[in-house]
Amino acid sequence: MKKSVNVAVLVSGGGTNLQAIIDFSAEGRLESGKIVKVISSKAGVYALERAFDAEIPTAVVERKGKSQEEFEKGILLELEECNAEVIVLAGFMSILSKNFTDKYKDRIINVHPALIPSFCGEGYYGLRVHQAALDYGVKVTGATVHYVNEVADGGKIIMQRAVKVKENDTPESLQKRVMQEAEWKILPASLELVCKKLLKEN
């Protein structure tokens, strides 16, 4: 019986969520999955350093100057090369087409820094999400891990965790707390859940 599922992580920046998965794995808690490759849409980002330090193979498929089709083709080649079965979007700044997401149906997961269906969809990313939550005056926000389809933040929810909004919060302070208290906890836990489910099915 297969012991673990091959996981590829797609990144575009600093890689804090990637680090959370690396740490979770190093603690022996990612029992059903193994990170086999980190693919970045930009060269020189810190996420690649994190992968290098953890001895995980990396690849760069530049988004800039390519059509959506060319870009996705490049990623698919890298995924096929490492036999990736599950894909994690960890601060990956591109929306994937239906063509791409259909190929990996219920095998791509993403973390969003709000409680979907609030403050999500196209245009809601990074600090914009936290600014919107503060502008609206919500008392509770959080993070959501969901399956990825062609609709921005539109896939089925896997896990959510709530975080309290404080009186004096700024988008930056809220972002930091949502990462620490929610994103970094539920993304690795959700990955284990998805991998475990796939192992049972196979």
Ranges of each domain in the chain: 5-201
Above pLDDT 70, what percent of the chain? Answer: 100
pLDDT digits (tens, 9 = 90+) for 128-184: 999 999 999 999 999 999 999 989 899 999 999 999 999 999 999 999 999 999 999
Residue 110: pLDDT above 90?
A: yes
100 pLDDT above the threshold of 70:
yes
Is the predicted pLDDT of residue 112 greater than 80, yes or no? yes
Q: Which helix (H) or strand (E) holds 146?
A: strand 140-147
Q: What is the pLDDT of residue 95?
A: 87
User: Can you name the residues that pair with 7 across neighbouring β-strands?
Assistant: 35, 86
pLDDT tens figures, 4-16: 999 999 999 999 9
Alpha-carbon Rg of the chain, whole angstroms?
16
Q: Which of 50, 112, 130, 146 is catalytic?
A: 112
Q: Are 158 and 114 in contact (CB under 8 A)?
A: no
Does the active-site annotation cover 130? no
CATH superfamily of 5-201: Formyl transferase, N-terminal domain (3.40.50.170)
Give pLDDT, residue 49.
98
How far does the chain reach from its first CA to its final CA, in angstroms?
A: 9
Instruction: Give the Cα separation of 189 and 46 in Å (integer).
Output: 23
pLDDT(58) > 70? yes
Q: What is the pLDDT of residue 2?
A: 76
pLDDT on residue 81: 97
> What residues have CB less than 8 Å from 44, skipping those under 6 apart?
none
**Chain centroid offset of residue 54 CA:** 18
% of the chain beyond a pLDDT of 90: 94
Q: What's the whole-model pTM score?
A: 0.96
